[in-house]
Amino acid sequence: MRKTISSLGVVFCVSLLLAAALPAANAPAERRPNVVLFLVDDMGWMDCGAYGSQYYETPHTDRFSRRAMRFTDAYAQPLCSPTRASILTGQYSARHRVTSATGHLPPQPPGHSFLKTSAAANVPMLLPESQNYLDPAQITLAETLQAAGYRTALIGKWHLGTTRPHWPEQQGFDTAFHCHPDPGPPGGYFSPYGVSLEGTPNNRSKVGTITDGPPGEYIVDRQAQEAVKFLRAHRDEPFFLYLSCYGVHGPWGHKPEYTREFATRRDPTGRQGNPIMASMLRSVDECFGRILDELDSLELADNTIVIFYSDNGGNVHSNVPGTARTTAAEKNRSEALADWRQWAGDQPPTRNTPLRDGKGTLYEGGTRVPLMWSWADKIPAGSTSGAVVGPIDLYPTLLELLGLAKPPRQMFDGVSFARVLTGQGDLPREAYFNYHPHAGANRAGGVWVRSGDFKLLRWFGNPHTFELYNLREDLGEQQDLSAAMPDKLRQLDALIDGFLESTGASYPRPNPSYQAAQVNSATDPLEAWKQRGCKATIEAGVLRVRGTGKPGTAFLGHAAGRLTAPATIKLRVRSATGGAGRIDCLPNGAADESNIHSVPFTIQAGDWREITVELKHTGRLGVLRLYLPATADSVVELERIDIIPASGQAENWRF
């Protein structure tokens, strides 16, 4: 049984309504067009030739752009799960409640409170919690197409719920090639994938419908194979193929024969240069190319709407080891670990220049993404649109193009931009919003509104803070106009108020129990942290750390107490000289040096930088040691520290 009896009744009623509303479209001679949605994981706005990269090679994607409409101002959420939920529901994340990349975590129980009413005295804000699953009550895009006679398939990453009631088969997909938990690829990029129908997420095994291929098979290649199989099986009936590509998400498994080739190349613009990412993007491009070629071979291309999209901006924060296949006969993926720094040095996965920042942030680099649509003789080939669109718009747009009615019970925040696609008009949109209320590089989380050329970011806090940019004149978001244009700020902030109210957003609130720490800058500038091998002082909201011992011995220690791993630690840091740092985690406390989880990072010399460190082990954090390249002659400055566990309350410090 796919859903509850009541939900099946709704789907049946929707089918009758659609059939009654569109008799001509149901005639045999008027077969509806097929739909292919190719969604790349973590692909940045500049990560293909069609959008300006001169380092990455994406010939199939570039070829597709010549027969498609390319959007220059398309958006996604800063993280993957919210975007995926918005595509399937037509709703902002503030409404459907999947607000962070938590779809791989166990679902919350009924009656769960997603915004606590109280917190510890050292926590300044009450932060909302993301829903870890897509509500089965939603009538998804797949369900609506299924009710209209489409055969539907999800091949790849789902990340919208770990338990069977929340699997894609329960959300409108006839065919599903997937596994859980699924923040990234199943057990790595290479077969065997370690997926079982018998396992459960609670015992840390992968459970789902993915089966192993030949040893060393690359999962992105396998996705293409499964897609081709689906296309051939349903060539004679309308279909919806949602290929949710595992590339280019971490752990960045790559084919070394490709990586070796890119390692010898240089970007003439000096922007990009990570050969691992180039290798992975080539594999993603080949997967997309196989689908396009199969549509041509089956003579279905002219009657198929093809959408190429990314779920969030490019990852510019992480540089940790990935996996690589060394021989096809490898039986143990742990033996195939590639040395990230051998190939990429200290480079992040990608760079989004000229956009600011990347994945996980509300700046343009985290939210502006590639989006292209094609439909032969309907969407002008090789065209470009500056319409501001996002994941909430795909559902209503497809319904209009396909001649289908909106499900009566499904609330849409998105609007159709079918007239833009077909060249019949513009998109009259006063404002578009993006919402990420979670702590991290973005302080206590925030929300932005884009209206015309202007974008206002509101950072939640007590009080709120703002940044205002004219994106036409300042695409890189370098000139904050909030002080110079108070009227524009008030106008756009009123739109944000309306958005939060209309969607019922659960946004951060001040903690009524919060008590600001009494700081003694002479002896203990960080109440929760201890100075070792260094001297720390606070000046004008900046923590300045100067080493007092041998190089490499300066660290700040913190008893993380109730916090558990996996967790993310984010720093905003500045150093004139830069250097190597690391975070040591001692789960059993400082007295036990035998069990240390250590993650290195590098601080580049120069201005303020965001650094993200992922602690991927499980269990208590215990004691954290933040080692900094501070010496007697070199000061390291910190503006903030965020400790963000995968589950539970984050801890944040602002100086």
pLDDT of 53 reads 97
**CA 559 to CA 599: how far, in whole Å?**
17
Radius of gyration of the chain, Cα coordinates, nearest whole angstrom: 25
Two structure tokens written together for 473: 């004149």
pLDDT of 14 reads 39
Residue 9, pLDDT above cutoff 50: no
Mean pLDDT, range 470-496, rounded to an integer? 96
pLDDT of 565 reads 79
pLDDT of 26 reads 41
Residue 28, pLDDT above cutoff 50: no
Q: What is the pLDDT of residues 417-427, one digit of tens each?
A: 999 999 999 99
- Do 432-510 and 529-654 fold alike per CATH? no
Mean pLDDT, range 518-539, rounded to an integer? 70
CATH fold of the domain at 52-73+181-235+246-394: Alkaline Phosphatase, subunit A (3.40.720)
Residue 131, pLDDT above cutoff 90: yes
Among 28-42, 315-329, 386-400, 598-612, name the one with the lowest average pLDDT.
315-329
Best CA proximity match to 374, nearest among 297, 281, 432, 288: 288
Mean pLDDT, range 255-273, rounded to an integer? 95
Q: What are the extents of the domains in the chain?
A: 52-73+181-235+246-394, 432-510, 529-654
Cβ-proximal residues to 586 (8 Å cutoff; 6+ apart), any chain: 592, 593, 595, 596, 622, 623, 624, 625
Is the pLDDT higher at 288 or at 587? 288
Is the pLDDT higher at 530 or at 168? 168
pLDDT of 27 reads 37
The correct answer on CATH 2.60.120.260 for the domain covering 529-654 is yes
H or E element at residue 180: strand 179-180
Query: What does the mean pLDDT of the chain come to?
Result: 87
How much is the pTM? 0.77
Written out in words, the top-level CATH class of the domain with range 432-510 is: alpha beta
Mean pLDDT, range 171-193, rounded to an integer? 94
Residue 272, pLDDT above cutoff 70: yes
pLDDT of 550 reads 87
Is the pLDDT higher at 113 or at 432? 432
Residue 6, pLDDT above cutoff 80: no
Burial of 15 (0-12, 13-18, 19+ CB in 10 A): middle
Among 134-143, 190-199, 339-348, name the one with the lowest average pLDDT.
339-348
What is the percent of the chain where pLDDT is above 90?
66
pLDDT band at 267 (very low <50, low <70, confident <90, very high): very high
Best CA proximity match to 465, nearest among 541, 389, 521: 541
pLDDT band at 586 (very low <50, low <70, confident <90, very high): confident
pLDDT of 610 reads 87
Q: What is the pLDDT of residues 240-251, one digit of tens each?
A: 999 999 999 988
Residue 32, pLDDT above cutoff 50: yes
pLDDT of 123 reads 75
Angle at 394 between CA 389 and CA 397, to 5 degrees: 95
Are 269 and 54 in contact by the 8 Å Cβ rule? The answer is yes
Among 488-497, 516-525, 531-540, name the one with the lowest average pLDDT.
516-525
- Neighbouring CB atoms inside 10 A of 589's CB total 12
Is the pLDDT higher at 219 or at 594? 219
Burial of 430 (0-12, 13-18, 19+ CB in 10 A): exposed
Is the pLDDT higher at 123 or at 228? 228
pLDDT band at 328 (very low <50, low <70, confident <90, very high): very low
pLDDT of 560 reads 73
What is the percent of the chain where pLDDT is above 70?
86
Among 470-479, 526-535, 641-650, name the one with the lowest average pLDDT.
641-650
Q: What is the pLDDT of residues 404-444, one digit of tens each?
A: 999 999 999 999 999 999 999 999 899 999 999 986 543 56
pLDDT of 12 reads 35
Q: What is the pLDDT of residues 34-68, one digit of tens each?
A: 999 999 999 999 999 999 999 999 999 999 999 99
